[in-house]
Amino acid sequence: MSLPAVGAGAGEELIGDLVFPQEVHGLVVFAHGSGSSRHSTRNRWVAEQLRRVGLATLLMDLLTEEEGRLDARTGHLRFDIDLLVRRMLGVIDWLPEHDRTRSLPLGLFGASTGAAAALGAAARRSEVTRAVVSRGGRPDLADEYLAGVRAATLLIVGGQDTDVLALNRQAAEKLRSTHEIHVVAGATHLFEENGALEEVADVAADWFRRRLGGGSTAPPSSLP
């Protein structure tokens, strides 16, 4: 699917992959960050696990193709949190126009700088966003938005990712909504260790399932 890129030139679009399981109880929109895209192997695998518990998933590129090429050279757009928030808002505002998404409870999943975009959008669209999950995220980059978040928020951080863990703890102190920090013992920033990403998928699926609806949390399948 594609939709207009808020704040970009006329005719420029964002591209996303919207997938529905057979039985749908909610929708989770993914915000990627730090040079990643909707093709992220980790996020696509986590999305697959969410669909196993009845959650539709929308993996969005928050940068246009031209912006993505520019960011690959300079790395600056991935840290433009206000831009990423505006793009997430554009996605959220598009959902009521789609027959299959307009009535679904909404959750947001953000990784790295995408977590800041998810939290900023959750604050700006608090009336429709029920839950947020951050994977190895930088919620501190959404500092100005944190107090306005009303959605239940889960911050997942690797136990060995000590700097990011400290930043998440500082950000959590500013959240006024229900929130938890889940530390994946022994994991580093990319959750590449044995069983680490499976744990991310398990706790994220449970968090969303309890707040958006869905079936029992299915055990994660083997990593590709």
CATH code for residues 2-212: 3.40.50.1820
Q: Kindly provide the b/e burial profile for residues 105-122, where b requires at least 16 CB atoms within 10 angstroms of the residue's own CB.
A: bbbbbbbbbbbbbbbbbb
- pLDDT digit string (tens) for 10-52? 567 888 899 999 999 999 999 976 555 566 778 889 999 999 9
Sign of CA dihedral 153, 30, 50, 193: negative
Q: State the Cα–Cα distance between residues 52 and 110, nearest whole angstrom.
A: 19
Closest CA to 182 of 214, 218, 206: 206
Contact indicator for 140, 120 with CB cutoff of 8 Å: no
pLDDT bin (cut points 50, 70, 90) of residue 165 is very high
Distance of alpha carbon 133 from alpha carbon 106, whole angstroms: 12
The domain ranges of the chain are: 2-212
| Averaged confidence pLDDT in the chain | 87
- pTM for this predicted structure: 0.89
Computed over its alpha carbons, how large is the radius of gyration of the chain? 16
pLDDT of residue 4: 57
For the stretch 113-161, pLDDT in tens is 999 999 999 999 999 999 999 999 999 999 999 999 999 999 999 999 9
pLDDT, tens only, 69-87: 665 676 666 667 888 999 8
> Closest Cα partner for 14 from 24, 25, 3?
3
Over residues 188-215, the pLDDT tens digits come to 998 999 999 999 999 999 999 999 986 6
